[in-house]
A and B are shown apart, each in its own frame.
Chain A
Amino acid sequence: MRILLRWAVRLYPVTWRNRYGAEFDALLEDISPSFGDVCDVFGAALRARLTPPSYPSLAAATGSSMALRMPVVVSLTAHALMLVFVLAAAVHYVTPAPPHAFVAPVPPPTPEPPPTVTDARVFPNAWTLYSSLPLIPNNDNVMPLYVAHGVGINFLPLPDIGALYQRGEAQWRVWPGQALESFIIRRVLPEYPRNVETQGAVSVFVEYLIRRDGTVKVLRSAGPTPFTNAARWAIEQWIYRPLGYEDRGCQVLSRVEVRFDNAFAQDGLN
């Protein structure tokens, strides 16, 4: 402890030590120094460094007080800055970085599986669904009619779209055919009836019901018999995903026009 005191005394300015050094050493020999005394001497030495002496003899001895204090001030400032940087670096080093919460990347949503290709004539490939098929000229009142090998499906504009029919316990809600396209899983196009000689186009209108399990039941149809049978047989093989309305399963009623065109059928067969 006494060694520390001796070292602390050296921090006093030379002029102060020249004036008070001998008696201060004598005082330190008389006392039993403690750590508090070391801190006391250290602080007093710094104050003596930073405080210009006003005592005439000391001021005269030191000459320019600013010239004496400037190196000390610069040194203390530099050391203080270094201490700040070291402490900052230590805190930054010791303090563990906040754990980055590992968040697994959200997997991209599973794309909707393409509809099962059940009829190569309708779905030559999934990317050119319908578009590669020949298009029959239509008028303004009907939806575009897509035809493959002379047979096409036309989605009719339904006047009772959205209506709810109740028959006993069963409820049927009317949806247009084009709105059901995103739910269809399996579609079979009607075959053009063979050995039937008809000129021009023949339309068959079919009203069908999609059950809760997605299967289809034809309710009624209108048109020439061989064409009606072909349309009913094909449409009853359609399968939809189960449909719902307001989070409840429901049965859906829809209507389509199946158009048979002999000219296109001949082209397709060729």
Chain B
Amino acid sequence: MSDPTILILASLAEGDKHGYAIMEDIQVFAGVRLGPGTLYGAITRLEERGWIRAVKTESRRQPYRITAEGSLELKRQLALFGQVVRTGNRRLKEA
């Protein structure tokens, strides 16, 4: 669950955020502090894949918005994680 792309998508699922806001949000809900290089490397990949896009603004702090493809990918990843979580919990109870 430490994949920065998933964390960023999860953060943007709440609404548009710029880089620093994404970093703070992830630290709050996931307890993970992404470094600036890691954060913008992931933002670059997400934008390349079309899962997020930049929102027009006059500010230097560029906000990003999750796209429909990004939301779909986030749901798919969360479903996969949910299956992993359920399987792990069931096996822990059986053990």
The residues of A that contact B23 with a CB separation of less than 8 Å are: 27, 31
Residues of B within 8 A of A31 (CB): 20, 23, 36
Asked if residues A40 and B35 are in contact (CB atoms below 8 Å), the reply is yes
User: In chain A, what residue has the closest Cβ to B61?
Assistant: A26
Report the minimal beta-carbon distance from A264 to chain B, rounded to whole angstroms. Answer: 112
A-B CB contacts (within 8 Å), total count: 70
- Give the residues in chain A near B38, CB-CB below 8 Å: 40, 44
B38, B41, B47, B48 — most chain A CB neighbours (10 Å): B41
Per a CB cutoff under 8 Å, which of A26, A37, A47, A58 touches B35? Answer: A37
Q: Chain B residues with Cβ under 8 A from A27's Cβ?
A: 18-20, 23, 36, 39-40, 61
Which interface class (under 10, 10 to 19, 20 to 34, 35 or more) fits A? 20 to 34
Tier of interface size on chain B? 10 to 19
CB of B63 to closest CB in A, whole Å: 9
Query: B89 near A: Cβ within 8 Å?
Result: no
B43: nearest residue on chain A (CB-CB)? A20
Which of A8, A24, A39, A42 interacts with B40 by CB under 8 Å?
A24
User: In the complex, which residues of chain A have a beta carbon less than 8 angstroms from the beta carbon of B18?
Assistant: 23, 26-27
A40 touches B37 (CB 8 A): yes
**Structural contact, B48 and A23, CB atoms closer than 8 A:** no
- Among B36, B48, B60, the residue within 8 A (CB) of A54 is B48
B19 and A24 contacting across the interface, CB-CB below 8 Å: yes
A16 contacts B60, CB within 8 Å? no
B77: interface (CB < 8 Å) = no
Q: Is B83 an interface residue (CB 8 A)?
A: no
In the complex, what's the smallest C-beta–C-beta distance from A257 to chain B, in angstroms?
Answer: 107
Known: A23-B61, A25-B60. A45 touches B20 (CB 8 A): no
Q: Which residues of chain A are within 8 angstroms of B36 by Cβ–Cβ distance?
A: 5, 24, 27-28, 31, 33, 37, 40-41, 44
Interface check A112, CB cutoff 8 A: no
Q: Is the CB of B48 within 8 A of A43?
A: no
- Contact (Cβ within 8 A) A55 B41: no
Chain A hits for B48, CB < 8 A: 53-55, 58
For B43, the chain A residues whose CB sits under 8 A away are: 20
Q: Are B62 and A23 in contact (CB under 8 A)?
A: yes
B45-78 CB mask vs A (1 if < 8 Å, else 0) is: 0011000000000001110000000000000000
A 181-224 binary contact with B (CB < 8 Å = 1; else 0) = 00000000000000000000000000000000000000000000
The reply on A22 being an interface residue by CB < 8 A is: yes
Contact B44 A48 (CB under 8 A): yes
Complex CA gap A45/B38 in Å reads: 10
17 interchain pairs, CB-CB under 8 A: A16-B44, A20-B40, A23-B19, A24-B36, A27-B20, A27-B23, A27-B39, A27-B40, A31-B20, A31-B23, A37-B35, A37-B37, A43-B37, A44-B37, A48-B41, A55-B44, A58-B48
Enumerate chain A interface residues (CB-CB to B < 8 A). 5, 8, 16, 20, 22-28, 30-31, 33, 36-37, 39-45, 47-48, 53-55, 58
| List of 7 A-B pairs having minimum Cβ-Cβ separation, nearest first | A44-B37, A40-B35, A55-B48, A23-B62, A41-B37, A40-B37, A30-B20
